[in-house]
Structure 1
C-alpha cells in the first residue's frame, strides 16, 4: 500500500469529511493505492485499560485494531492525517491513536534508547497533517506558539520516524464562506501528495 489516510472526525457532513473525500478523489485520479483508517467508524477505543498498559511495556496489545493499524503503518510510504483541532490540539481520539498504536519494541513504531526515542516507522517517506480550526492560522502559529507544528509534527511524528512532514490548516472554519471552502478543496484536489 502506498498511502494511508488516518481520518479523525465523527460527523459525515463535516468539512473534514469533505476534505477526506477530496483527498480520496485526488489519489484515485492519480491512480495511487490507498487505505483509510476511520477512527470513529471503526469504534476505536483510544483509552488504555490496565491490561493494555501492562502489555504496552512489552510491545504487545489485546486490542485487534491496534495490531491492524500498526501493520498498516509498517506497510505504507505516505500517511495523510485529516482531523479538526479542538482546543488548539488534536482530538483525544487521535492522541489516543498515537498513545495506543505506537508500540515500543524492535520492529514496532519506536525503540527507547539512553539517548531518547528512535523511530522505527522510517518506511513512511511523506507525512501530511490536514487540519481545520475555529482559530485563525496566525493565532495558532503566533499567539499559541505554533504547538501543532512544534510538538505534534516536529517532535511526535519525527520521533516515530515519519519523514517529509507537512501541516496545512484551514483556519476560521466556523465563519468561512462556501467560496473559501471550495477554493481550499480545489487546492487539495490538485495537491501533489507523494
Structure 2
C-alpha cells in the first residue's frame, strides 16, 4: 500500500521524531511504499493567503499553490499523521496543511450545498500523537484532534477508511518507561498495518 506519512514537529530530536521514525521504519519493513512528508523539514507554508482564499472555490486553479502536496495526497492509499497535540489542537503547521491542501474538488465536493468526501483513494488512516493532558481531561474538553481524525478525516474518504488512533496521554508526567512502551506499541501496530 502507498502510505503518505504527515509528520509535524519542529524539533528533529524530539520524542515526536522517535515516534515518526518508528512509524516509517515499521511501515517500510512491512512492505509499504512510504511517502514521508516532514512538514517542517520540507518548509511547508501553512498560511492560507488572501489570494489562496479568494481562489478557494476555483476548481481549475485552487490547487496550483500546493500542487505537489495535492498530487501526493491523491496518490496515497493510506495516510498516517504523527504530531503532538498543542492547546487541544493541531500544531499550526498541520492545521495549515489541512486548510491549504484539503481543497474543494480534492478532499470534498459540494452537491446541492452539501459536502461529499472525495478522497476515496484513502483506505486507512493512522494517527500517532501525544498529549500533555490526561485522557480524562482531553475527553472532558471534547478532544478536538481525536474527533477530527476519527470523524472529519473519515468523512473526506466517504467513510471508507478505517482509523487507527494511538495516543500517549499525560506526557507532562511521562517517564522513560511509559515513553518507550508507547514507541514499542506504535512499532508493533505499524509492523502489522
| TM-score of the pair, normalised by structure 1 | 0.90
- Which residue of structure 1 lines up, in the alignment, with residue 161 of structure 2? 163
CA–CA separation in structure 2 for the residues paired with 1:158 and 1:32: 21
| Shift in Å, 1:136 | 1.1
The reply to whether residue 149 of structure 1 matches residue 146 of structure 2 is: yes
CA–CA separation in structure 2 for the residues paired with 1:159 and 1:188: 25
User: Aligned-residue CA RMSD in angstroms?
Assistant: 1.7
Contact 1:52-1:61 at 8 Å conserved across structures: no
- Which residue of structure 2 lines up, in the alignment, with residue 46 of structure 1? 46
The reply to whether residue 179 of structure 1 matches residue 193 of structure 2 is: no
For structure 2, list consecutive stretches of 5 or more residues without a partner in the other structure.
none
Extract structure 1 runs of 4+ deviating beyond 4 A.
none
Contact 1:9-1:17 at 8 Å conserved across structures: yes
CA–CA separation in structure 2 for the residues paired with 1:168 and 1:37: 19
CA–CA separation in structure 2 for the residues paired with 1:171 and 1:159: 25
For structure 1, list consecutive stretches of 5 or more residues without a partner in the other structure.
none
| Shift in Å, 1:177 | 0.8
The reply to whether residue 88 of structure 1 matches residue 88 of structure 2 is: yes
- Which residue of structure 2 lines up, in the alignment, with residue 127 of structure 1? 125
CA–CA separation in structure 2 for the residues paired with 1:9 and 1:118: 31
Contact 1:117-1:159 at 8 Å conserved across structures: no
Counting matched residue pairs gives 188
| TM-score of the pair, normalised by structure 2 | 0.90
Q: Deviation per CA, 1:127-163, whole angstroms, max 9, x where unpaired?
A: 011111110122112x11232233x124321231161
